[in-house]
Chains A and B, each alone.
Chain A
Amino acid sequence: MLAGIDYFIVIAYIIGMLLLGLYFKKFVSSSEDYFLGGKSLPFWAIGMSIVVSDIGALDFVGVSGQAYRYGISVGNFDWVGSVPAMLLAAFIFIPYFWRGGMYTIPEYLGRRYNQKVRTIASVTWILFFALDLGVLFWASAVLLNVLMGWPIWISIVATAGVVGLYTYFGGITAVIMTDVVQFIIMFIGGFALVFLSLYEVGGWDNMVDKIATMGPEYRNHFDIIQPQDTKSPFPWTGILFGLTFVMANAYMIGNQSIVQRCLTAKNEWHAKASMIFGSALKMFIPILVLFPGLMAVVVHPGLADGDQALPMMIKSIMPPGLVGLMFAAFFAGLMSSVDSLLNSTATLFTKDIYEPFIKKGADDKHYLKVGQITTLVLLLIGVATSPISSDFPGIYVAIQTFMSYFQGPLFAILLLGIFWKRTTEWGGLSALVIGIGFAIYLNVFKEQFFTIEDPFLYISWWSFLLGFIINVVVSLLTKKHTEEQLKGLVFSSKILVENKKL
């Protein structure tokens, strides 16, 4: 439980976030303001927002737990699993989306392939985001219940009320600017924990020496590159093919909640810079989430559940005041994930489903209202579905794992769509459907195909490869698009050299 000063910090944080978020209500007068922040935001705010949205409280606990079990190789996800993909996004994909005035990634897929591809991609994201919302609300409620002693339902309504209010009124500008504060709080809380943990274990070198003497299972704990035959989920082959080549790119280029932030930039330079700045900040994330897990190996050896590593470290080494700050950092991670999901899902629904299928050609105020009402409806769905998490504790992992299977085929059609003129609508559609089906098949029969513990990296690679091949073959067999249809949608070196407008 928290001490008095911790309560004060947490409550001040929650009220501060609400007031800050509501302040941005005055900047919203059109759907572009609501979904793209009026294309007025600076790179530093967007970069911080990308990073803080990507790392939630559940990741704090989960990554520390994996670091406790598998060592420093978990850091690959934020290092090689982010930086190259963010540079590719910054210099190739984001300028296309930004210049094209797009709101969503499925919107690009719709223009490049057809409406079916756009709808499949959009509906898939909407379903996953909506399910994730319930899980995140439940996680927030459990945190508030354990540390503040608030009943679960009051905790859920409090979280939904605070995040929902500022997202409803302030749109993505409120989401990004509250993310900036949440980023700062997360970094202060995280680094405080790292420094205190380092002091506790007697410094980095001392920790490395101690872990080295703890037995053969810790032999590779400080090897970032794991051998191909490791039993951990992170062999270097999976990190290179599955993570670096597929999942990282799919996430940074194909994830609506990431890309939408870059589209709010005030100009093309800020859009590119936001990704590169974000990639620099991303390199600090393993220090915050991975190091405490490593240090817990020394401070709390022999934990049966690695996910207990971080809570145990907080409980055993953080003084009053800093516990409250750490809790605020956790809550910041959760809030930033929830507000991102709310705004991105509202954008996907309004632009990809409502506008083309339900009411075309309405005035802008109408779509602004639809976006706000969708936010409200999603909030209610999230609150109503949150108890599912208590009945099915593995649901968060299940959702994340299934989402990862969608990433390979999605990246295959994005990559070919932007780099190969010959790709056709039927190529894209068949690659998406067959690729997702293949990923599900490999997952169902994973024991027959794979030797490592959790082969999600391999599955994403093979489903990407099949999606890529299917796209090429079917495209060559079907009628190609005309030059007019492809205008501004396919990469051309002229865009780099002559800076042609799309």
Chain B
Amino acid sequence: MFNFDWLSGVSQETAKMIFLSLYALIGILVLILPTEYVYQGIAKEDRHWWNNLKLWSIAVLCILASIYNHF
């Protein structure tokens, strides 16, 4: 049990899909955050698309997913 033997039948490809699904899930969770919340701390008139932290997070997750997809 301690060695996760019950997951020994899962192939490396399936395991990779589990990681990619995890990134997709995190991406969805980030996207459903209220926009007001991610801008908190910036005055309303200074809010632009480039300081939307949702976009930053999605970009980081896309790069991460592409690394795992490649290797």
User: Which residue numbers of A lie inside 8 Å of B, CB to CB?
Assistant: 72, 75, 79-80, 83-84, 87, 90-91, 95, 222-229, 235-238, 240-241, 244, 267-273, 276-277, 279-280, 283, 442, 449-452, 455, 458, 462, 496-497, 499
Select B33's contact among A91, A269, A442, beta carbons within 8 Å.
A91
* Interface pairs (13), CB distance under 8 Å: A72-B71, A87-B57, A91-B30, A91-B57, A225-B12, A228-B10, A235-B4, A267-B42, A273-B51, A273-B56, A276-B53, A449-B3, A458-B3
Contacts known (A87-B57, A225-B19, A236-B12); A268 close to B36, Cβ less than 8 A: no
- B40: contacting residue among A83, A84, A87, A268, CB under 8 A: A268
A444 to chain B, nearest CB (A): 14
Q: Is A496 a contact of B37 with CB atoms below 8 Å?
A: yes
Per DSSP, are chain B's interface residues mostly helix, strand or loop, or mixed? helix
Is B28 in contact with chain A by the CB < 8 A criterion? Answer: no
Q: Which residues of A contact B67 (CB under 8 A)?
A: 75, 79, 224, 283
Select from chain A the residue with minimum beta-carbon distance to B18. A240
Given contacts A84-B22, A87-B26, A269-B39, contact A227 B64 (CB under 8 A): no
How far does the Cβ of B19 sit from chain A's closest Cβ, in whole Å?
6
Give Cα distance in the complex from A415 to B5, angstroms.
27
CB distance from B45 to the nearest CB of A (A): 14
- Render B1-40 as a binary contact track against A, CB cut-off 8 A, 1 for contact: 0111101101010011011001100100010011011111
Is the pair B41, A83 in contact by a Cβ cutoff of 8 Å? no
Further pairs besides A90-B57, A225-B68, A228-B3: 12, Cβ < 8 Å: A75-B67, A79-B68, A87-B61, A223-B12, A225-B19, A228-B15, A269-B40, A272-B38, A276-B57, A279-B60, A280-B59, A455-B2
Docked pose: A163 CA to B6 CA in angstroms: 50
Q: Are A462 and B2 within 8 A (Cβ)?
A: yes
Return the contact of B56 from the options A228, A241, A280, A450 (Cβ within 8 A).
A280
Indicate whether A225 sits within 8 Å of B36 (C-beta atoms), given known contacts A241-B4, A273-B53, A280-B60. Answer: no
Q: State whether A499 and B40 are in contact (beta carbons under 8 Å apart), knowing that A91-B30, A225-B16, A236-B12 are contacts in the complex.
A: yes
Closest B residue, CB atoms, query A226? B12
B59, chain A: closest CB distance, angstroms = 7
The 9 A-B pairs of least Cβ separation, nearest first, read A269-B41, A267-B41, A268-B41, A237-B4, A224-B71, A236-B15, A449-B2, A276-B56, A268-B40
Q: How far is the CB of A398 from chain B (nearest CB, A)?
A: 22
Contact of B19 among A80, A90, A226 (CB under 8 A): A80
- A87 near B64 with CB under 8 A, answer no
Contacting residues, chain A, for B60 (C-beta < 8 A): 83, 87, 276, 279-280, 283
B residues with a Cβ closer than 8 A to A are: 2-5, 7-8, 10, 12, 15-16, 18-19, 22-23, 26, 30, 33-34, 36-42, 51, 53, 56-57, 59-61, 63-64, 67-68, 71
Whether B64 lies near A283 (C-beta < 8 A) is yes
Given contacts A87-B30, A273-B56, A276-B53, are A450 and B3 in contact (CB under 8 A)? yes
Q: A228-B10, A279-B60, A449-B2 are in contact. Are A270 and B41 (CB under 8 A)?
A: yes
Q: Which residues of B contact A225 (CB under 8 A)?
A: 12, 15-16, 19, 68
Structural contact, B41 and A224, CB atoms closer than 8 A = no
Residues from chain A with a CB closer than 8 A to the CB of B41 are 267-272
What's the Cα separation between A279 and B60 when bound, in Å? 7
Nearest A residue to B19, CB-CB: A80
Complex contact A80–B64 (CB within 8 A) = yes
A32 to nearest B CB, angstroms?
18
Q: What are the residues of chain B within 8 A of A462 when measuring CB–CB? A: 2
Nearest chain A residue, comparing its CB with the CB of B39 = A269
Given contacts A79-B68, A269-B40, contact A227 B56 (CB under 8 A): no
Are the C-beta atoms of A277 and B56 separated by less than 8 Å? Answer: yes
Cα distance, A241 to B42, chains bound together (Å): 36
Contacts of A497 in B (CB 8 A): 34, 37
Q: Is the CB of B63 within 8 A of A283?
A: yes
Q: Which of B22, B30, B33, B41 has the most CB of A within 10 A?
A: B41
Specify which chain B residues have a CB less than 8 angstroms from the CB of A228 in the assembled complex: 3-5, 7-8, 10, 15
When distances are taken between beta carbons in the complex, the residues of chain A under 8 Å from B26 are: 84, 87
Which residues from B are CB-within-8-Å of A80? Answer: 19, 22, 64, 68
Question: Contacts of A223 on B, CB cut-off 8 Å?
Answer: 12, 71
Docked Cα-Cα span, A142 to B35, in Å, equals: 51
